Chains A and B, each alone.
Chain A
């Protein structure tokens, strides 16, 4: 158990809909990251937050947004969903915002299926 909690574990929805994925980082971790894992693209970095502020952006679509709340949990919002958004979405956390600490702890993912 990494200590990172993601909900829901599974989500099935229709094209055009909007969903919210939730992540609670490990106790004490200030940085939260979102990754998307699909069959054809592998693991792709989406976005990072540190202590409530956006820190780095990756291949995140404009239809997607995220935020980190004062209690450090984070939400990833996916809107105007398309079939190609079907994937596993992972949240990860680390103590700091940089690579210096070494480990990034991943949750077990939220599997999104868009029909």
Chain B
């Protein structure tokens, strides 16, 4: 899509497989994390969030895992579908701040039918 950087990490999976998208963050003061999906030509769309007092949260077909020790976040998508093809961003928010989300660079997920 036109909003995607030229050197995004990419993940290519087969339809029906599970996908795991990873994200590293650096701010130890961040206590709220969100995954967004951005399809070509559209704005980011909220998928799932997690607060730092949790290490796992599940949604519909998606699971977010948070490892605060190594400052790592992952998004797992079960039974990936062609409609899941998009750029996925993790975002973090610092404790006590307003919604000044800091976004990661994004990962391009391509689902092959």
Interface residues of A (CB under 8 A from B): 2, 4, 31, 33, 37, 39-40, 42-45, 48, 50, 55-56, 58, 88, 90, 92, 94, 97-99, 102-109, 111
Contact = CB atoms under 8 A, between A and B. Distances in A.
Q: How large is the interface on B (under 10, 10 to 19, 20 to 34, 35 or more residues)?
A: 20 to 34
Contact of A42 (B32, B34, B93, B103): B103
Contact of B99 (A40, A56, A88): A56
Contacts of A37: 3
B61 interface: no
A82 B9 CA distance: 29
12 contacts: A33-B99, A40-B5, A42-B89, A42-B105, A44-B103, A48-B100, A56-B99, A58-B100, A90-B43, A102-B46, A104-B34, A109-B3
Interface of B: 2-6, 32, 34, 36, 41-46, 49, 89, 91, 93, 97-106
A104 B97 CA distance: 15
Contacts of B3: 37, 88, 109
A46 to B, nearest CB: 10
